[in-house]
Amino acid sequence: FRELFGDGSQLGLTFSYAIQEEPRGLAEAFIIGADFIGSDNVAMVLGDNIFYGQSFSKVLKAAAGREKGATIFGYYVKDPTQYGVVEFDGQGRAVSIEEKPAHPKSNYAV
C-alpha cells in the first residue's frame, strides 16, 4: 500500500503506516495501532468481505453505536470447514473464532 499510495498527498489525504512484523492474526492490528486509535471507536473491515441484505445497514448502525465491546459479523454457511467459524456461548455472544476447523462449533463464518 505504501508503494501504491505513498503518504496519500496525491489524493489530498494523509496516510500513516504501521508494520506487523510477523503474521500473528488480524486482531493484532488493534494492538499495533493502539496509540493511533486512542479512545476512538474503530472497525476492521476486510477487503474480501461482501455484506448484503436490507437489514445490514440497521445492524451496522447498531454496531457503530455500541459504547463498549465489539460486534462480529457472521454469516450462516453450509460448509463451515472452509471459513473462520464463530463459537457462541449460551447467551449468543462470540467466545472464539477458529480458522477452517475440522469440527466446527457453529455454521457461522466470518
Nearby residues of 36 by Cβ (< 8 Å), 6 or more positions away: 16, 18
* Predicted local distance difference test score (pLDDT) of residue 43: 80
Question: Residue 69 has which C-alpha cell?
Answer: 465491546
31 and 74 assigned to the same domain: no
* Number of domains within the chain: 2
* Res 7 pLDDT > 80: yes
Asked if residue 16 and residue 1 are part of one domain, the reply reads yes
Q: Are residues 97 and 54 in the same domain?
A: yes
Q: Are 18 and 58 in a shared domain? A: no
Same domain, yes or no: 53 and 34: no
Q: What confidence category does residue 96 fall into, taking pLDDT thresholds of 50, 70 and 90? A: very high
Are the C-beta atoms of residues 74 and 108 closer than 8 Å to each other? yes
pLDDT score at 20: 93
Asked if 30 and 59 sit in the same domain, the reply is no
Q: How is 49-87 classified by DSSP, letter by letter?
A: ----STTHHHHHHHHHT-SSS-----EE-S-GGGSEEEE
Q: Do 79 and 109 reside in the same domain of the chain? A: yes
* Residues 10-24 pLDDT 10s: 999 999 999 999 989
Tell me the residue range of the domain where 2 lies.
Answer: 1-40
Q: Of 104, 66, 54, which Cα lies nearest the Cα of 84?
A: 104
Same domain flag for 25 and 61: no
Task: Render pLDDT for 45-55 as a digit per residue (tens, 0 to 9).
Answer: 777 777 777 68
